[in-house]
Amino acid sequence: MLRDHGTDETETLYLDHARLNTLRTDAADFTSLYMLLMLYRQLVHSSPRKDGSRTVVKQDELLALKKEIWEIGPAHLGHCFMRGTKSGDISETSEKAVEAAKWREDIGNVVLQLTMRASEVRSQPYIPTPSSSASTVSGKPPLTPDQNLLKLATSWTESNLRPESSLSVLMKKRVRCAVEDAVVEMILPPSFSRKTGVEAGASPSIEHATSGLEPLMPEIRHLAEKLKKLIHIHTTVYGALYAQPGFLVDQPPPVDPAA
C-alpha cells in the first residue's frame, strides 16, 4: 500500500487506481503518526532520571498525544513519504514546494508539542507504589521545552521522516503487515491462522504492544476495513477471471526455434 504506484500494477487494478491512492495516503499518514509516537517515547527515555528510575509511558498518555498530533499536525502527516517531496525534486516556486514547506512548518509545531510533553513527563517526580515501580505525580509543566530535547527531536524528524530512510522503511513494513493481518482476520474463518505456531483466534495485542503499534489499532482497523471492502469489490468484478486456469501462473518465455 505504501509503495509508489507505477507500471507494476496489473491492468485489472486500473479501475481501482483512485481507491488505491487513497489507501496509500492513509497508510502514509498512519506510518508518520506511528513514527512520531515512537519519537515521543525516545524523548522521554533519552536520558535517565536523577533518581535512576525509569519513566513509564502509559497508553492513555499516548492516546491523548495521538489526538493532539492529529489536531496540530498537517492535513496529511505522511506527505513526506509521497512521490516528489524530496529536496531538489520540485521547483521552489511550484505548488508542491509550497505544500512541502507548509508540511515542514506544521510538523515543526508537532515536534515542539512532543518535546513539551516529554519535558513535562521527565520533570515530574516519581513515587514507588505497590502496583508499579513508579507512578507519576502531577506537577506544573515547564513553560518552555528542554532545548536539547528539541534539537534532538528536530534532527530526528529531518533524518527519519523521509521516504528513503531506513527507519521509515521498517515502520512502513510494520504498518503494512499489521493491516494485512487485520484483513486476514476479517476475511478468513477464525480456525485459520496465517502464522504457523499461532493459536487460532489468538489476540495479536502482545505483538502490537512490543512493536509500539497498540495506540494505532483504531487506525489499523480503519484501514483494514477499507482494504477489505476494496478486495470484495475487486474480486466480485474480476474473481472469475482470476479463477481461469493458468491466469495467476507465470508463463514460460517462448522458445526461439532458431536457437
Residue 1 belongs to some domain of the structure? no
The β-bridge partners of 129 are 132
Q: How confident is the model at residue 201 (pLDDT cuts 50, 70, 90)?
A: very low
Q: Residues 36-48: pLDDT tens digits?
A: 999 999 999 887 6
pLDDT of the residue at 135:
40
Residue 256 belongs to some domain of the structure? no
Q: How confident is the model at residue 197 (pLDDT cuts 50, 70, 90)?
A: very low
d(CA 251, CA 259): 19
The β-bridge partners of 136 are 126
Residue 254 belongs to some domain of the structure? no
Q: Per-residue pLDDT averaged across 220-242, rounded? A: 90
Residue 252, pLDDT above cutoff 50: yes
The DSSP secondary structure of 185-225, one letter per residue, reads HHHS-TT--SSTT--TT--THHHHHHHT-GGGHHHHHHHHH
pLDDT of the residue at 258:
57
Write b or e for each residue in 53-81: b if 16 or more Cβ atoms lie within 10 A of its Cβ, otherwise e.
eebebeeebbeebbeebeeebbebbbbbb
Question: Are 182 and 221 contacting, i.e. CB atoms less than 8 angstroms apart?
Answer: yes
Residue 124 belongs to some domain of the structure? yes
Residue 252 belongs to some domain of the structure? no
Q: How confident is the model at residue 193 (pLDDT cuts 50, 70, 90)?
A: low
Question: Nine-digit cell at 184?
Answer: 486476514
Q: CB within 8 A of 19, min separation 6: which ones?
A: 230
Q: Per-residue pLDDT averaged across 229-250, rounded? A: 81
Average pLDDT of the chain is 79
Residue 46 belongs to some domain of the structure? yes
What total of structural domains would you count in the chain?
Answer: 1
Residues of the chain with pLDDT > 90, as a percent, come to 47
Q: Residues 131-178: pLDDT tens digits?
A: 443 444 344 555 578 899 999 999 999 999 999 899 999 999 999 999
The β-bridge partners of 40 are none
Least confident range from 15-19, 49-53, 218-222: namely 49-53
Question: Are 114 and 39 contacting, i.e. CB atoms less than 8 angstroms apart?
Answer: yes
d(CA 23, CA 1): 7
Domain that holds residue 36: 11-137+145-195+203-241
Q: How confident is the model at residue 78 (pLDDT cuts 50, 70, 90)?
A: very high
Q: Which amino acid is at 165?
A: S
Q: Per-residue pLDDT averaged across 206-210, rounded? A: 58
Residue 6 belongs to some domain of the structure? no
Residue 83, pLDDT above cutoff 70: no
d(CA 241, CA 229): 19
- What's the CA angle centered on 144, arms 45 and 126, to 5 degrees? 40
Residue 247 belongs to some domain of the structure? no
